[in-house]
């Protein structure tokens, strides 16, 4: 039996903590490995396990920063949407983190599941990472902007044309602990019971 009170508290304590609020201190790789071990226990229809993670740490963070900023610059310049501030942000953000995890989805074509089911499984895996980070007191957030939707970015993350890059999980030690703000409407407003 599990401690239900602590489990409920863990879920309620989960927060997004952004890179600008990290100390710069490094997280032990063993904790990040535990996050990913917990991630793969997410529900997955027909056991397709569509998640694909690429972890950037140490010098890898600079490689990610350089790649994503230059990829953004190339694509945005071609389509006339280049923004210098966004470019600088993409170059800076990974360097504020202890680790960054690129999250991809690789589909199992033989099992022919709808794409939304596979995405759902990956986002459940992301929630497991979030909850594990919270349990360890680690700052965590999922970013889905930047180069996430760029086809040109996929090969850098070992993804093929059929795969999807779904975002980046940024990890770091929070400067002031996990925030305590509560921004949820009462559950009753979102639920209809039919008995």
What confidence tier does 85 reach under pLDDT thresholds 50, 70, 90? very high
Average pLDDT, the chain: 95
Q: Which of 166, 48, 155, 149 is nearest to 107 (CA)?
A: 48
Domain ranges of the chain: 22-176
Residue 186 pLDDT > 90: no
Q: What is the CATH number of domain 22-176?
A: 3.40.109.10
Sheet holding 51-57, edge to edge: 51-57, 99-105, 164-172, 139-143
Q: Give the largest Cα separation in the chain, rounded.
A: 57
Residue 111 pLDDT > 80: no
Can you give the pLDDT at residue 179? Answer: 85
């Amino acid at each position: 039996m599990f401690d239900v009170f602590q489990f409920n508290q863990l879920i309620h304590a989960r927060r997004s903590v952004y890179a600008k609020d990290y100390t710069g201190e490094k997280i032990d790789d063993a904790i990040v490995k535990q996050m990913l071990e917990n991630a793969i226990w997410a529900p997955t229809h027909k056991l397709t396990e569509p998640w694909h993670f690429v972890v950037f740490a140490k010098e890898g963070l600079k490689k990610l920063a350089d790649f994503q900023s230059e990829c953004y610059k190339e694509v945005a310049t071609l389509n006339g949407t280049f923004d210098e501030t966004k470019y600088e942000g993409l170059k800076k953000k990974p360097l504020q983190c202890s680790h960054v995890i690129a999250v991809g989805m690789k589909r199992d074509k033989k099992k022919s599941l709808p794409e939304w089911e596979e995405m759902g499984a990956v986002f459940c895996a992301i929630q497991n990472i979030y909850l594990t980070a919270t349990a360890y007191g680690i700052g965590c957030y999922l970013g889905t902007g930047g180069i996430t939707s760029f086809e040109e970015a996929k090969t850098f993350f070992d993804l093929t044309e059929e795969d999807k890059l779904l975002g980046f999980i940024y990890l770091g030690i929070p400067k002031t602990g996990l925030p305590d703000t509560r921004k949820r409407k009462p559950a009753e407003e979102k639920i209809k019971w039919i008995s």
